Amino acid sequence: MDSRELRNAFGQFATGVTVVTCTSEEGRPHGATVNAFTAVSLEPALAQVTLGRTSKACQYLDGRPFAINVLADDQLDVAWHFAGRPIQLPGRTPGWVDGPLAPLLEGAATTISCRPWRTYDGGDHLIVIGEVAAVEITARDPLLFHGGRFRNLGPVETHWSGSLDCPERGWFDAAAVFTPLALA
């Protein structure tokens, strides 16, 4: 398999952009831009990030708490900063705030604070799973990544309120009526 073709194929899946934050061995805040993030389980509450084996963050996460900062759509400079290619915007540098377990980034759309759970071999990456201890959710839209480029959400075109699995309605609320299928 050609690695460039595989990377292009993986890049066709739109993802959010996160910065995984933790502390260095000296106790200083550290972050790494990561788009390989996923929810794993609600019970127990688990989240996963995948980091390159040679990254400093990977070394710092060994058995230590971390946070997943889902970047907001105006944090492109933050994404580049923690990817090792800082963009200097006048008067703007990533700001840190204390989190319940690990440092958090100011202005993130959502933060997910995790205790270490398990780490698995993922080839040239490590798969790090954390037990979610706390979340903070804002009304800010997320920054996205697709096809090798950062992107923003567009306007909402349609809403799925007519569907039984609409998040505002919940799964099969009390008003749901089920009609049995006719037997053939």
In degrees and rounded to multiples of 5, residue 52 shows phi and psi of -60, 135
Query: For residues 118, 120, 122 and 128, what is the CA-based torsion angle, rounded to 10 degrees?
Result: 10
Note the pLDDT tens digit of each residue in 33-61.
988 899 999 999 999 999 988 888 878 88
3-152 maps to CATH 3.90.600.10: no
Note the pLDDT tens digit of each residue in 134-174.
999 999 999 998 888 888 888 766 666 666 666 666 555 55
Q: What are the structural domain ranges in the chain?
A: 3-152
Rg (CA), the chain: 19
Task: Report the pLDDT value the prediction gives residue 130, as an integer from 0 to 100.
Answer: 96
- Strand order across the 18-23 sheet: 29-34, 18-23, 66-70, 110-122, 125-137, 46-52, 37-41
